[in-house]
Amino acid sequence: MQKSFQNLRDPQERERKWFASLLWRSFPEATSEAELADLVAEALTTAQRSVNPRTVRNWLRSENAPGLHYVLAVLALAGAETVFELFDPEQTA
């Protein structure tokens, strides 16, 4: 499944859509938005910060932007190759 984030005019919207797709790729076992939200919230919750599944659903729907610390954590979960998408999203699919 190839998505063209370059076609989105709003850079903020493009970044949010990219992050949402990264969440799906990081947890391929998820079969629904609710299940994905639960998995992501559990994986990102730490002793210092709790992540609510509702927050994750907002990220998936591009309603809110995640903090940089969450982006970095998900990049680490997704794998090193996803970093290249930051530079050339059209080269990966």
Q: Using CA atoms, how far apart are residues 22 and 69, in angstroms rounded to an integer?
A: 15
The pLDDT tens digits for 71-87 are 999 998 888 677 666 66
What pLDDT, on the 0 to 100 scale, is given for residue 1?
44
Q: Is 4 within the bounds of a domain?
A: no
56 has a pLDDT exceeding 50: yes
Q: Is 27 within the bounds of a domain?
A: yes
Q: Is 1 within the bounds of a domain?
A: no
Q: Using CA atoms, how far apart are residues 92 and 18, in angstroms rounded to an integer?
A: 12
Structural domains in the chain (count)? 1
Domain holding 28, by residue range, is 10-91
- Can you give the pTM of this predicted structure? 0.78
